[in-house]
């Protein structure tokens, strides 16, 4: 029996078994917590250690999830529960990735994680009042640089999770 049919069988059995429904719900909630902890840690590691450190963290996390799934299946004796747990974790990680792609700052805030880039140092108040406005050219250059930086950060995060 392949993993997909095991998962369908497990889900099908849960429809008629309230105890199995509670077990699946418990492990789904645990997987969501693990995935959120993973994203929180990944964002913090990326902010402090860069993409290479985040990639190592991702690999270690997958090993932890696989070990946890094996433990779950051994403890419960329910065939397919480990594979279902891994599927739950992957599903939540993908949902959080989509949320990250929509708004990285909002995901960081919702996870109470540090921002992807360190906060800029406060700019000292000018000694003379500046009444000059930024030219259109200066504004275009600043916008282009800002967009390029965020694109690079987003692509680095995407490459880590693919």
Contacts (Cβ under 8 Å, ≥6 apart) of 45: 53, 54, 57
In the predicted model, is pLDDT for residue 59 greater than 60?
yes
pLDDT average, residue stretch 89-106: 86
In the predicted model, is pLDDT for residue 109 greater than 70?
yes
Q: pLDDT above 90 covers what percent of the chain?
A: 0
The pTM of the full predicted model, rounded to 2 decimals, is 0.61
Give the other-Cβ count within 10 Å of 118's Cβ: 9
Q: Which tops the pLDDT comparison, 160 or 125?
A: 160
Nearest-angstrom CA–CA distance, 1 and 94: 26
Q: Tens digits of per-residue pLDDT, 10-48? A: 777 777 788 888 888 888 898 888 888 888 888 888 888
Quickly state the pLDDT bin for 125 (edges 50, 70, 90): very low
């Amino acid at each position: 029996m392949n993993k997909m049919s095991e998962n369908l069988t497990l889900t099908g059995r849960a429809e008629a078994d309230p105890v199995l429904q509670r077990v699946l719900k418990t492990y789904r909630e645990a997987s969501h917590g693990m995935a959120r902890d993973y994203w929180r840690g990944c964002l913090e590691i990326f902010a402090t250690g860069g993409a290479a450190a985040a990639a190592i963290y991702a690999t270690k996390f997958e090993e932890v999830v696989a070990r946890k799934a094996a433990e779950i299946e051994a403890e419960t004796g329910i065939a397919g529960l480990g594979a279902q747990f891994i599927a739950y974790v992957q599903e939540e990680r993908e949902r959080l990735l989509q949320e990250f792609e929509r708004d990285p700052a909002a995901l960081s805030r919702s996870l109470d994680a540090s921002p992807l880039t360190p906060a800029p140092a406060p700019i000292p108040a000018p000694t003379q009042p500046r009444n000059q406005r930024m030219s259109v050219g200066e504004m275009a250059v600043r916008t282009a640089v800002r967009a390029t930086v965020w694109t690079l950060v987003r692509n680095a995060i995407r490459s880590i999770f693919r």
